[in-house]
Structure 1
């Protein structure tokens, strides 16, 4: 049995997501089976947003098989950096909370997020100085990130680097992309390189030249090549055809770039590669 004591007001789903990456895999299943208890009382099947108060006790059971599933792996760690490889279905905050519990609150620093249903690499800092340097590097695009995505149809040769404008729609918790500037919209640049075509889908390498919320998914959909399995911006018919309910998107590769006076200069040029891929569609390059 896993047991958690609530320390501040929250709802059940957000609390579980931020505290236990293993439960992130199985939350919907646990809830549907009424396997989650709050203060000894079973939560209703539709109670994902049940309000939790400070002092509440949240309990649930995971089977041995569920416990053994890997929510994330630590790929690399030194005195300054920690690199993890996250599974899809796992909330990024839960990865951070787990690392923070293991190392203490000052032993790991949250640098960047990864969508719950996107697999792949996340980098954390292990001290304040390196956290500041990593945040600067991400902001100034000194960190080179390559994604893999399965997308509808394929790009032609002149579509590999695309510019558009993205605006957040907070009320709907999504973003809107257009081809022209507009009030509140920010310029986005995304590179798409098809590496494998198969029928009406293609596996593409995707390069972020800017980094905005949902940029890859929303930009790809705007261009008519939505990410397979994307339930927010994607093609429902295509998702149904292939039986995909999570976006086929992987944060595949990260290369670090730091100058000689950086506290992370020793990591300049270091590349990390996720273990995840789309081998089911054919042999892919690393």
Structure 2
């Protein structure tokens, strides 16, 4: 038997989800059989899978030891970069992710934004893993490895839950700056996108088709100089590689994009990753029952983005 005491970040978590988080390899059928056989109890009594935990509840799991993860073997963690925080309160932080930094850890073992954020919270004493049952602070939106810019991170479970709802319900507008090869047509553009999981590449077409999802991208051309344009992009939908693939479809690929871009122009300019930066987050209407309702109408913007200077440097180089 394993016993847990619900903490602040377990409050209002569904009991079945809590059990899934603190166990490993527990089959769904056995999970619900354990509920029926009273092998999962809260405060000494039988509890239903949909029971919402309250801070201080004692959860007893009469399950085989094989379903509880063993302590991981110690390994040398990669040195994490110091995280840059643009906005922070007790619920959230808005972070800057530089180009080449992963959002989440992967098999390469390279540094990543989530680990850097956890290290930052650990230094401040705001996250102590041994004091948490199942919650770990996490990011709510992600950027491709080659894209830089703003990422929202949640410090508590309620903030993670409610920010995910805000993003899922399209209550936050995301804007990017990009340098394109050629100037794309201005305005609001619709198309359909298909994502191949096999090669992690997308295809865009002008009409709907089976397996394709609708995409909407807003384009504003801020400056033009020679073959390059500095554009502001608004995402109405947020599909995989949407900006990069949609701009290529519109005839103006993102400079430096090795997957959908103009190879010759990339080589000529020396850009080895996409010139794309998430620069602004604007929160729309948020329902009062959401704990993050205070964000309604607020904007977070990246000050003095490097991508603007890179565009002007290209313009100067073209005059030399």
Root mean square deviation of aligned Cα: 2.2
Runs of 4+ in 1 over 6 A off after TM superposition: none
Matches for 1:251-266 after TM superposition, within 5 Å: 251-257=278-284, 258-266=286-294
> Normalising by structure 2, what TM-score?
0.64
Which residue pairs with 2:273 in the alignment? 246
Matches within 5 A, 1:90-105: 90-93=101-104, 94-101=112-119, 102=122, 103-104=127-128
> SS of the residue aligned with 1:99?
helix
The Cα of 1:72 is off from its aligned counterpart by 3.8
Runs (5+) with no aligned partner, structure 1:
1-53
Rounded Cα–Cα distance in structure 2 between residues aligned with 1:56 and 1:107: 19
Equivalent residue, structure 1, for 2:12: none
Aligned match of 2:309 in 268, 272, 279?
279
Matched, 1:232 2:293: no
- The structural deviation recorded for 1:280 is 3.3
The separation in 2 between residues aligned to 1:155 and 1:232, in whole angstroms, is 18
What's the secondary structure of 2:198's corresponding residue? helix
Query: For residues 181 and 280 of structure 1, what CA distance do their matches in structure 2 show?
Result: 37
**Unpaired stretches in structure 2, ≥5 consecutive residues:** 1-71, 105-111, 130-134, 314-320
Q: Helix, strand or coil for the counterpart of 1:172? A: coil
Offset of residue 71 of structure 1: 5.9
Q: Structure 1-normalised TM-score?
A: 0.72
Matches of 2:152 and 2:204, distance apart in 1: 28
Cα shift readout 1:78-106 (whole Å, capped 9, x = no counterpart) = 11111101110100111112223422453
Q: Which residue of 1 aligns with 2:295?
A: 267
Match of 2:92 among 81, 85, 89: 81
Q: 2:225 aligns with which of 192, 198, 213?
A: 198
C-alpha separation in 2, matches of 1:254 and 1:87 = 17
List per-residue Cα deviations over 1:225-246 (Å, max 9, x = no partner): 1000000110101111111001
Residue 56 to residue 81, structure 1, CA distance change in 2 (3 Å): closer
Closer/same/farther in 2, CA of residues 72 and 202 from structure 1, 3 Å limit: farther
